[in-house]
Amino acid sequence: MSAAAAPSDLMSPLALFLHADAVVKIVMIGLLLASVWTWGIIITHALRLRRLNRASDSFERDFAAAKDLDAFHASRGADPVPHARIVSAGLDEWRRSVRVKAADRSGARERLSTVMNAEVAGELDRLGDRLNILATVGSVAPFVGLFGTVWGIMRSFTAIAGANNTSLAVVAPGIAEALFATAIGLFAAIPAVIAYNRLTHGLDRLEARLGRFADRFHATLSRELELEG
């Protein structure tokens, strides 16, 4: 136990960690890693969503102003934007459909719609890949921290029984160390829950935006299809 520690460094996180029981230490390390991983995901995804929204703004603006669809696709089709991939998928399918004579227009429209919706879904899958980790950390980390706390308090009560001494000086350090596990659990879980809701909201908006763009592009292509025939 930490009875020998000077009271001045009792509250420092390192001291709390070093004096804790092995199980509590493992719980603390796990929760700290979860927190690092959570914040890594938060930073990565927040930056990526911002970048995508900005790139989408400029892409949509340029797309609306473009005169020639093929030339626009040749110059901007490789942009790292979901819109560009939707345009590529739609144009590929359109070219394949118009290559054959006596095209089935309604069938071609179905295929265009399916392909572009699949591209939107695939983009969202890629973007929302790690968000399940945030949800897991947000819901499980408090329980893991609570487990560490319960374990640490059990241990310090056992120590009290062994020491035949109920003074607060014997009990308090062990309980403080145990509670530190819950603190880390909450420290990891609270940002994870907030970020999960925030990022899910951002992805929903991006999905709606991509869906609108795909619908508009589908309308353009089906109009072209009619002119083609």
DSSP state string for 111-160: HHHHHHHHHHHHHHHHHTTTHHHHHHHHHHHHHHHHHHHHHHHHHHHHHH
Q: Does residue 15 touch another protein according to CB under 8 A?
A: yes
Single residue of 4, 100, 168, 227 touching another protein by CB under 8 A: 168
To another protein, the closest distance from the beta carbon of 191 in angstroms equals 10
If the CB atoms of residues 2 and 97 are measured against another protein, the closer one turns out to be 2
Within its chain, how far is the Cα of 86 from the centroid? 22
If the CB atoms of residues 65 and 168 are measured against another protein, the closer one turns out to be 168
**Contact criterion met (CB below 8 Å) for 46 and 127:** no
Interface with another protein by CB under 8 A: which range of 53-61, 63-71, 85-93, 159-167?
159-167
Query: Per-residue string for binding with another protein, 32-51, x by CB under 8 A?
Result: x--xxxxxxxxxxx-xx---
Residue 3 CB-half CA count within 13 A: 11
Interface with another protein by CB under 8 A: which range of 8-16, 53-61, 73-81, 116-124?
8-16
Contact positions with another protein (CB under 8 A) in 170-199:
172
DSSP one-letter code for 9: G
Structure tokens, 182: 């819950």
**Angle at the Cα of 123 (from 37 to 98), degrees rounded to 5?**
165
Contact footprint for another protein (CB under 8 A): 7-15, 32, 35-45, 47-48, 130, 164-169, 172
